[in-house]
């Protein structure tokens, strides 16, 4: 894991002093709310329905036990005893006072964390595969590159007042668990014919009001050129991205307006001017950062334990993943208890995960885009102890990747932008699927729910998406089908008119039953849907109960 040096520490400390000063100036009137808002957002501070919300960065989703404990303490001391993991692998607190936030940032800084650029029209927290450094299908760990980008993008003097927010993801595995094609820039690690590692560059993806999949604008970029190439892309965007219309300001709209070929041409022309500038990454610095991300040693002779315990066996089947190192596994800690709030975790649970990560997980945990946690490195001989620890903490739900592993944005229960609630819908879908006993039969399927078109809950890329809308004071929910997150990414299509909230769970259960009726053997939900098309599912969704 990356360790701060004195430069990184000083940067974060100076940032806190700056924010403390900004809060003071807002309160005494030297800053107006209009001026303060973008500044607080760039420190992760939103003003939501009931209170301020603080979004803490978890760079590329990686945390150690000391950090988890501080996250737990913050939940207890400054909030109402819980936090919420997001689809961009950050954690949010829903109730902090503005005047406490500088102190919270101090607590975070002590364990090398911050809230820098977790919101605002700037380059946001860089995400990667939650199984980076562990996944059996990995070519190279994406995290060193994500860290290099984190540093380069922090307080970038030219790119801090962009037309709109800007999200970068790096993926180093053959499966895409980072969602490259729905990011402003997606970087896929690849090897060229000479066997050298480099990046495939994708630009112009994004969700929100007008979801778009990114376009590949370069097949191979040498690592030394990473920062100059990113600079070229951002410079073209900063100058030509639209600023007159909030809804057309993302880079995807610029790429669409001028075409990916023209966007690539402008980027390459700008890059030609700066590729040999002082933006070239020194090999020593690349090596220095890479050295922080070592793989754990092999645990030879340690096989997956055979067990007579049904609960442990079920959990192993659903929540364990293969590891690239012999004798190790990765495990998913589901934050989707049946009927709970997706992504929420209590102070005590954060501390329990910290203990397990420290004792059995080489002191590492990850946050995932599905709002779950992962212990990336666990010895197979420790799996049962981990499971027991999770059971004791109420974190052993064996549903990773199943229909009850629902992703949901905070929605109208918290968010000032939302039009409809999403968490209660997720809760009732989860409860009904559990009551019907459908989860295990249906197997892999993704259900994602949004309370507005900004799509923080990623409904566009869910097999079954749910989008809340408001019609004259009443909540309605549109169902989308056929979205997918990953290598074969796709955007879901709306099946028809919106449903009332109380009708959504039954409609989804009917769609899942339709799948069970018409699937071929070993076909996943998305495969069946792609094979037969949406009509049968659509019919079941609108079938009267």
Partner 1 sequence: MLQLDRKTVTREVSNAQIEAGGGTIVEIDGDTPWQEAATQISGAVQVDIRFPSFKDGRGFSLATLLRERAGYTGRLRAVGDLIPDQAQFLHRVGFDDVAPDRTDLDADWARARARFTHAYQPAQDRVTPIFGQRTATPKDDLAALNARYRGADAIDILRDAIRNEWTGRIAILSSFGAEAAVGLHMISQVAPDTPVIFLDTGRLFAQTEQYQRALTDQLGLTNIRMVRPQAEEAMAEDPDDKLWQRDPDACCALRKVRPLDNVIGDYDALITGRKRFHGGERMALPVVERLDGRIRVNPLASWSAQQVTDYFQRYDLPRHPLSDMGYASIGCWPCTAPVQDDDDVRAGRWSGRSKTECGIHTPSRIAAE
Partner 2 sequence: MKTITANRLTDGRVIYRTAEGEWTEDLARAERLADDATAEARLAEAEAEPAIAVGPYLIEIEDDAPGGQKWRREGIRLTGPTTGSTKTVNASRKAA
Which residues of this protein are in contact with partner 1, per CB under 8 A? 5-8, 10-11, 14-15, 17-18, 21-22, 25, 30-31, 35, 38-39, 121, 151-152, 154-162, 227, 235, 238-239, 243, 273, 277-279, 281-282, 284-285, 288
* Residue closer to partner 2 (CB basis): 53 or 230: 53
Q: What is the DSSP letter of 452?
A: S
Query: Measured from the CB of residue 500, what is the shortest distance to partner 2 in angstroms?
Result: 13
- Which residues, other chains included, contact 400 with Cβ-Cβ below 8 Å and sequence gap of 6+? 318, 319, 332, 334, 370, 372
Q: Work out whether 337 is an interface residue with partner 2 (CB under 8 A).
A: yes
Q: Work out whether 446 is an interface residue with partner 2 (CB under 8 A).
A: no
- The CA distances from residue 368 to 127, 172, 268, in Å, are 9, 15, 33
Q: Work out whether 111 is an interface residue with partner 2 (CB under 8 A).
A: no
Binding partner 2 (rule: CB under 8 A), the pick from 71, 251, 383, 423 is 423
Binding part of the chain for partner 2, among 146-154, 220-228, 332-340, 432-440 by CB under 8 A, reads 332-340
The count of chain residues that interact with partner 2, using the rule CB under 8 A, is 43
Query: Measured from the CB of residue 40, what is the shortest distance to partner 2 in angstroms?
Result: 11
Binding partner 2 (rule: CB under 8 A), the pick from 97, 287, 435, 500 is 97
On the 0-12 / 13-18 / 19+ scale of CB atoms within 10 A, 239 is exposed
* Residue closer to partner 2 (CB basis): 109 or 395: 395
Query: Measured from the CB of residue 11, what is the shortest distance to partner 2 in angstroms?
Result: 27
Which has the closest alpha carbon to 75: 337, 335, 334, 348? 348
Q: Work out whether 82 is an interface residue with partner 2 (CB under 8 A).
A: yes
Distance CA(137)–CA(360), nearest Å, equals 23
Separation of CA 478 from chain center? 23
Separation of CA 428 from chain center? 23
521 binds, among partner 2, partner 1, none (CB under 5 to 8 A by kind): none
Q: Work out whether 314 is an interface residue with partner 2 (CB under 8 A).
A: no
Interaction mask 453-492, partner 2, x per CB under 8 A: -----------------x-xx-x-----------------
Which residues, numbered 38-67, are part of the site for partner 2 (CB under 8 A)? 47-52
Give the up-direction half-sphere exposure of residue 389: CA atoms within 13 A in the CB hemisphere: 22
Which has the closest alpha carbon to 216: 255, 243, 173, 172? 255
* Residue closer to partner 1 (CB basis): 7 or 301: 7
Distance CA(397)–CA(319), nearest Å, equals 9
* Residue closer to partner 1 (CB basis): 30 or 191: 30
Query: Measured from the CB of residue 81, what is the shortest distance to partner 2 in angstroms?
Result: 5
CA angle 55, 412, 61 (to 5 degrees): 30
Helix axes 226-240, 251-258, angle to 10 degrees: 80
* Residue closer to partner 2 (CB basis): 32 or 174: 32
- DSSP string for residues in 168-197: EEEE-BSS-SS-GGGSSEEEEEEE-TTS-E
Question: Both tokens of residue 399?
Answer: 């549903």
157 binds, among partner 2, partner 1, none (CB under 5 to 8 A by kind): partner 1
Which residues, numbered 379-408, are part of the site for partner 2 (CB under 8 A)? 392-395, 397
E-assigned strand segments in 313-461: 320-322, 328-333, 344-346, 365-367, 373-379, 407-408, 447-450
Residue 394 and residue 401 in contact, taking contact as beta carbons nearer than 8 Å? no
Distance CA(250)–CA(238), nearest Å, equals 10
Query: Measured from the CB of residue 396, what is the shortest distance to partner 2 in angstroms?
Result: 9
Q: What is the DSSP letter of 2?
A: -
Query: Measured from the CB of residue 53, what is the shortest distance to partner 2 in angstroms?
Result: 8
- The CA distances from residue 438 to 430, 444, 446, 532, in Å, are 10, 11, 14, 21
Query: Measured from the CB of residue 506, what is the shortest distance to partner 2 in angstroms?
Result: 20
Q: Work out whether 310 is an interface residue with partner 2 (CB under 8 A).
A: no
Q: Using CB under 8 A as the criterion, which residues of the chain lie in contact with partner 2 when the complex forms?
A: 26-29, 32-33, 47-52, 80-82, 97-99, 337, 339-341, 344-346, 348-349, 392-395, 397, 412-414, 421, 423-424, 427, 470, 472-473, 475
């Amino acid at each position: 894991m990356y360790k701060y040096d004195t430069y990184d520490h000083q940067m974060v400390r100076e940032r806190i002093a700056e924010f403390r000063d900004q809060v003071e100036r807002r309160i005494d009137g030297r800053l107006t709310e209009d001026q303060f808002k973008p500044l607080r957002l760039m420190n992760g501070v939103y003003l939501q329905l009931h209170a301020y919300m603080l979004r803490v960065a978890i760079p590329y989703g990686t945390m150690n036990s000391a950090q988890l404990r501080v996250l737990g303490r913050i939940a207890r001391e400054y909030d109402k005893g819980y936090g919420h993991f997001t689809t961009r692998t950050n954690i949010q607190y829903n109730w902090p006072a503005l005047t406490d936030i500088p102190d919270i940032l101090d607590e975070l800084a002590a364990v090398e964390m911050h809230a820098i650029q977790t919101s605002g029209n700037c380059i946001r927290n860089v995400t990667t595969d939650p199984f980076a450094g562990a996944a059996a299908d990995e070519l190279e760990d994406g995290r060193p590159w994500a860290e290099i980008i984190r540093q380069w993008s922090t307080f970038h003097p030219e790119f801090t007042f962009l037309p709109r927010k800007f999200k970068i993801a790096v993926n180093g595995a053959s499966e895409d668990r980072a969602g490259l094609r729905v990011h402003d820039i997606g970087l896929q690690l690849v090897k060229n014919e000479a066997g050298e590692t480099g990046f495939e560059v994708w630009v112009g993806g994004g969700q929100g009001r007008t979801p778009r999949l990114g376009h590949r604008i370069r097949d191979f970029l040498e690592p030394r050129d990473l920062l100059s190439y990113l600079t070229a892309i951002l410079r073209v965007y900063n100058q030509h991205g639209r600023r007159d219309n909030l809804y057309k300001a993302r880079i995807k709209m610029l790429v669409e307006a001028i075409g990916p070929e023209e966007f690539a041409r402008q980027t390459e022309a700008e890059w030609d001017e700066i590729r040999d500038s002082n933006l070239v990454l020194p090999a020593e610095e690349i090596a220095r950062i890479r050295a922080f991300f070592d793989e754990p040693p092999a645990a030879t002779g340690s096989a997956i334990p055979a067990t007579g315990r049904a609960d442990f066996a079920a959990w192993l089947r659903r929540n364990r993943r293969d590891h690239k190192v012999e004798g190790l596994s990765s495990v998913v800690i589901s934050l989707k208890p049946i009927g709970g709030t997706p992504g929420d975790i209590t102070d005590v649970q954060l501390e329990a995960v910290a203990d397990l990560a420290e004792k059995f997980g080489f002191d590492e945990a990850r946050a995932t885009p599905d709002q779950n946690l992962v212990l990336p490195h666990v010895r197979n001989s420790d799996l049962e102890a981990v499971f027991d620890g999770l059971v004791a903490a109420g974190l052993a739900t064996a549903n990773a990747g199943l229909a009850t592993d629902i992703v949901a944005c905070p929605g109208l229960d918290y968010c000032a932008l939302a039009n409809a609630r999403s968490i209660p819908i997720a809760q009732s879908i989860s409860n009904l699927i559990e009551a019907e006993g459908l989860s295990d039969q249906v197997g892999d399927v993704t259900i994602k729910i949004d309370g507005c078109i900004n799509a923080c809950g990623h409904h566009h890329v869910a097999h079954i998406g749910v989008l809340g809308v408001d019609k004259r004071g009443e909540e309605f929910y549109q169902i989308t089908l056929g979205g997918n997150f990953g290598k074969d990414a796709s955007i879901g299509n709306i099946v028809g008119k919106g449903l009332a909230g109380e009708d959504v769970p039954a409609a989804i259960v009917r769609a899942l039953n339709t799948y069970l009726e018409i699937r071929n053997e070993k076909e996943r939900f998305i495969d069946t849907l792609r094979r037969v098309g949406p009509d049968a599912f659509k019919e079941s969704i609108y079938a009267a109960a």
